[in-house]
Amino acid sequence: MQSETVRQISQIFNAQSVALVGASDREGTFGRLFLEGLRDLGCPHIYPVNPKREEILGFKTYANLTAIPEPVELAILLTPPEAVLGIVKEAVEKKLKGVVVFAAGFGELSAEGKALEQEIARVARAGGVRVIGPNCLGFFSPAAGLSTFPMSLMEKVPNRGGSVGGFAQSGSFTDQVVWFLTKKGAAFSTMVSCGNECDLAAEDYLEYFGEDENTRTILAYMEGVKDGRRFFEVARKVAAKKPVIMWKGGMSEQGAKAAASHTGALAGSATVWNALFQQTGIINVSCMEQVVDCALGFHFSPLPRGRGTAVLSAHGGTGVATADNCLAAGLELPGLADETKARLRQIMPEVGTSIGNPVDIGVASLLNPGLYGEAIRIIADDPNIDMILVNTSAIRACEEGIVEASKTIDKPVAVSIFALPELVPQEYEYLAENGIAAYPDAKRAAYVLSRLAEYAKFKAEREAEG
Amino acid sequence: MQSETVRQISQIFNAQSVALVGASDREGTFGRLFLEGLRDLGCPHIYPVNPKREEILGFKTYANLTAIPEPVELAILLTPPEAVLGIVKEAVEKKLKGVVVFAAGFGELSAEGKALEQEIARVARAGGVRVIGPNCLGFFSPAAGLSTFPMSLMEKVPNRGGSVGGFAQSGSFTDQVVWFLTKKGAAFSTMVSCGNECDLAAEDYLEYFGEDENTRTILAYMEGVKDGRRFFEVARKVAAKKPVIMWKGGMSEQGAKAAASHTGALAGSATVWNALFQQTGIINVSCMEQVVDCALGFHFSPLPRGRGTAVLSAHGGTGVATADNCLAAGLELPGLADETKARLRQIMPEVGTSIGNPVDIGVASLLNPGLYGEAIRIIADDPNIDMILVNTSAIRACEEGIVEASKTIDKPVAVSIFALPELVPQEYEYLAENGIAAYPDAKRAAYVLSRLAEYAKFKAEREAEG
């Protein structure tokens, strides 16, 4: 059964009527960027609030929330901190579902700020209104036509709803990860910036995404937690159903100190967090690159049945070193079945190749790029193999074979392109568009495969427990 | 004093007269690609050898090496394995300095192949000719107008000589790393593909690069070693003078097995190699990404005096997590001096920023991108700080401030751009052109800075020992 909190969050993320308090038509302001953004994304009912104006960008404008003659579900507040409490009182009067508070300068700055944000939360909750923030970037719900993420608006990220959801105690994380992953072929249900969490907190968002039917993969950046007990219980439940990929900032003492001045969060000890990841099955990563790498891997790939990985390469050295990287990441490289070897032998030249694990199809594959696809299909039939890591050159014909073959098999395929991404952006774009998780280094591909296998095992064990 | 081997290698890498045995004008052949490459790079004397032709691409062509009427220093052999011994005998007769043998199908394939390559080496050395290969891609010496690396020729890598040198027991490694790093603003003295090392071996090339005055940074990919004792002694001497960045393939049992079928190398145990890295000061890395990252860091940056790192960020979460990553990489994040903090306070807004370590200049820096440069200059004056790690957005105005400031200080600056490189290739290109080592993730920048600090300490200790 859906909890009251989940229901309330769902109403906010799917609001059809939005007041933008602090709307503006002045170039270079958030007030304009967000108003244009809501309009362009197709938010059905937009009410700019600005006491000094009658009309902004063709929208009738109101002096305050209570002056709006129709019902409003959500208010986005771009005002200074001292104005927030008054507006929240109006929101209560107007019976809104929620408010998003952008302003910084609360609990992360001083005890007075902390007291003020607590009062805001108290007033809001008592009146049935939930608060996102303060000191946050709001959220991005493309299917509902809602976004307050600057990068996504400036870069015109499309408003296609999808299955990646998440929350972050860092505005720039939410904003950037949406931009990165949308450009890489993923689409979002909702991404939310938690801010100081005076009311709604990480554990609430996690619970929401756990129950949200559209969300299949959950991303998170966290620095601290408000209600550790509840967070643990929610995490244990959610991570058993869906992958939760989390980057925890403030694991070191110095990082924790920085977190305190960032969002006022108490970061907690690394020991406690590591135990939490262990016990809940949360997929813990330690940098943005791993968030993106894992997000793509979990988004595009089925879960593997085991850790048995085949390495397919056309460069001997890369194959050798990739074998090292796979084993170091905890993967297994089983021997290929005799039938697989026999079938590979039929398609591969004898010199400059190697039929083992790694399989080296040799530089001849540059002249015959179809070898990649043929080899993938043969290897995928091998009962010893659960996943395939393919090293390829940045040559479209090779990529095409891999894309076509990947569509026909139900085992994870991770591609490592042997070229810096900034040198061949078009190859990375092509693979992303075709739902292939591509990495610029085989070590990163191996890392993602190992996390897929680890999570698949965890999930199967939890399901067996009932 | 220069050893005989170093002198011989130097003659090969700087050959002014080159015979290309197996030259061709047929499209899509190495025989044509290399002939055009030597011509375009400006190699002074080129002699195509092909018994079936009088002339190829405007060059007079010869039936064999001894038919060439002028002296020849180097022969590049594109012939099948069974023809190699005969041609090496001609090379001895013609008093060449060296031959490069491309053909595979020797020691990596069979005992007969091993015997044949040993005979080739014996004949060559007895006649004063040194052999590179077999089963190799030759070498790239841009200043001498010599290249046999397909990627570099196809992508028209410029023939500007530089200070990065290296050797690799993987042809694709040599080829790709030259392409990657040249595009990223580095330039090479020579890069050589070792192949099966029937004569000249990794330890010889390492000795050469140690003595070569043009080479300041050495890169290597190795799978095995022929003369372990000599390799150790050479490595100890060379790594104390210049950074040697090495990726060792075949560290795992399965990797070692793959190496045996790749270049016939005996990979040796991980324990032995790790001890070797420890004792010689070789900078050991474990993937191509780290080779490139470290190569750029060592190429562009001065050595730091210590591990004291300042993190400069405009996104709170990134700053927090970068502090974690720096400490995890073994860096120190000292407190800033009072004067530094006072000076930073003068340029930074009060809200949404943080003056500690990390320094968070806040999102206001997007409106005032000059803040990056100003902050870098102030932090670089701090006596507690040896290196600066800057997190920036993919916004040119921010990059410009960083580039200008970096030019005025003598401490390493590593930049992490908060954007996937394939999404903003132009920003990565701009920083590369301006001699800035840029990384798509702060964790990678922290890793490189930690290797710089580690090597600086090692070098200082070795110098103190005398």
- Cβ neighbours of B183 in A, within 8 Å: 420, 423
Given the structure tokens 């700055």, which residue do they identify? A109
User: Does the distance separating the beta carbons of B422 and A421 come in below 8 Å?
Assistant: yes
Burial category of A70 from C-beta neighbours within 10 Å (exposed 0-12, middle 13-18, buried 19 and up): exposed
Beta carbons of B300 and A338 less than 8 angstroms apart:
no
- Tokens for B132, please give them: 């590179």
CA distances to A103, A372, A431, B404, B433 from A404, in Å: 49, 10, 11, 47, 37
State residue A397 phi and psi, 5-degree precision: -60, -35
Check residues A257 and A262 and name the one with the higher pLDDT: A257
A41-87 confidence digits (pLDDT tens): 999 999 999 999 999 999 999 999 999 999 999 999 999 999 999 99
At A401, is the secondary structure helix, strand, or coil?
helix
Distance, CA of B165 to CA of B233 (rounded, Å): 19
Q: What is the pLDDT of residue B251?
A: 87
As a whole number, mean pLDDT of residues A107-124 equals 93
Q: Is the pLDDT of residue A216 over 70?
A: yes
Minimal Cβ distance to A440: which of B104, B289, B358 = B289
Contact A161, A223 (CB under 8 A): no
pLDDT bucket at A368, cuts 50 / 70 / 90:
confident
- Residue A278: which pLDDT band, with cuts at 50, 70 and 90? very high
Per DSSP, helices labelled H in B303-368 are 316-328, 338-347, 364-367
| Residues making up chain A, counted from first to last | 466
Q: Flag whether pLDDT at A1 surpasses 70.
A: no
> What's the full length of chain B, in residues?
466
pLDDT value at position B323? 94
Residue with tokens 């074998």: A323
pLDDT tens for chain B, residues 1 to 466: 679 999 999 999 999 999 999 999 999 889 999 999 999 999 999 999 999 999 999 999 999 999 999 999 999 999 999 999 999 999 999 999 999 999 988 888 889 999 999 999 999 999 999 999 999 999 999 999 999 998 888 888 777 899 999 999 999 899 999 999 999 999 999 999 999 999 999 999 999 999 999 999 999 999 999 899 999 999 999 999 999 999 999 888 887 877 776 666 666 788 889 999 999 999 999 999 999 999 999 999 999 999 999 999 988 888 889 999 999 999 999 999 999 999 999 999 877 788 999 999 987 787 788 899 999 999 999 999 999 999 998 999 999 999 999 999 999 999 999 899 999 999 999 999 999 989 999 999 999 999 999 999 999 999 998 7
What confidence category does residue A159 fall into, taking pLDDT thresholds of 50, 70 and 90?
A: confident
> Which are the contacts of A82, defined by CB distance < 8 A and separation ≥ 6?
none
pLDDT at A315: 84
Do residue B261 and residue A356 have CB atoms under 8 angstroms apart? Answer: yes
Structure tokens at B367: 């409106």
* Bridge partners, B167 (sequence order): B192, B220
Please tell me what DSSP assigns to residue A106: S
Q: Which of B246, B311, B320, B424 to mutate to test the interface with A (most CBs of A within 10 A)?
A: B320
CA distance B151 to B140: 11
Per DSSP, A143 falls in state G
Q: Pick from A165, A160, A163: which is nearest to A144 by CA?
A: A160
Nearest chain B residue (CA) to A193: B317
In the three-class reduction of DSSP (H, G, I as helix; E, B as strand; rest coil), residue B77 is classed as: strand
- The owner of tokens 């509902």 is A144
Using alpha carbons only, give the angle B350, B355, B357 rounded to the nearest 5 degrees. Answer: 155
pLDDT at A195: 94
In the three-class reduction of DSSP (H, G, I as helix; E, B as strand; rest coil), residue A445 is classed as helix
Question: How high is the pLDDT of residue A263?
Answer: 64
Which of A303-312, A341-350, B308-317: highest mean pLDDT? A303-312
Interface probe with A: pick from B178, B180, B288, most Cβ of A within 10 Å: B288
3-state SS class at B382: coil
- For residue B1, what pLDDT is reported? 62
**How many secondary structure helices (H) and strands (E) does chain A include?**
18, 20
Q: Are A164 and A182 in contact (CB under 8 A)?
A: no
Which chain A residues contact residue B221 at CB under 8 A?
317, 321
Is pLDDT above 70 for A282? yes
Q: Is the pLDDT of residue A166 over 80?
A: yes
Could you tell me the pLDDT band of residue A343, with boundaries at 50, 70 and 90?
A: very high
What sign has the CA pseudo-torsion B402, B408, B411, B412? positive
pLDDT at B264: 63
Q: Which residues from chain B sit within 8 angstroms of residue A261, using beta carbons? A: 354, 356, 360
Domains and CATH numbers, chain B: 4-297 (3.40.50.261), 303-463 (3.40.50.261)
Average pLDDT on A316-332 reads 92
Task: Check CB contact under 8 Å for A172 and B221.
Answer: no
Task: Give the SS3 label for residue A413.
Answer: strand
Which amino acid belongs to residue A79?
A: T
Say yes or no for a CB contact (<8 Å) between B327 and A252. yes
Relative to beta strand B45-49, strand B17-21 is parallel
Subunit contact A360:B179, Cβ cutoff 8 A: no
Question: Rg of chain B's alpha carbons, rounded to an integer?
Answer: 25
* Pair A138, A100: CB distance under 8 Å: yes
Terminal Cα distance for chain A, rounded: 18
First to last CA, chain B: 18
- For residue B389, the chain A residues in CB contact (below 8 A) are none
Nearest by Cα to B363 from A27, A262, A192, A20 = A262
